[in-house]
Amino acid sequence: MLQSLFELLAQKTRRYGAIGTGFDSLYLIVYYSSAAIYNTPVETANFEFKDAAEMARQFIDDDHDPFNHIFLFVNDLVLTVV
């Protein structure tokens, strides 16, 4: 499930970074809870959704252009990645 999240983030930053947007601010919203339909659950006794957000932060590092902020929505929880 984490690999799917990383692939999605990389795809979106490549796609929108390459074409430009013309906006002053751009936010990416990822609905992470729907990924459970297609993948094994990410939340276990030793791993929570906040851990996924932290790993996404590390994956993106400082290369999140063109997005000013990236939000990870999980059920009723909103986690800020960048």
User: Which spans in the chain are helix H?
Assistant: 2-19, 49-60
At 35-77, the pLDDT tens digits run 556 666 556 667 777 787 888 888 887 777 888 888 888 766 6
Predicted local confidence at residue 41, as pLDDT: 59
Rounded Cα distance, 17 and 14, in Å: 5
Rounded Cα distance, 26 and 76, in Å: 22
Q: What is the DSSP letter of 20?
A: -
What total of structural domains would you count in the chain?
1
The whole-model pTM stands at 0.68
What is the domain range of residue 13?
2-80
71: nearest Cα among 39, 49, 47, 40: 49
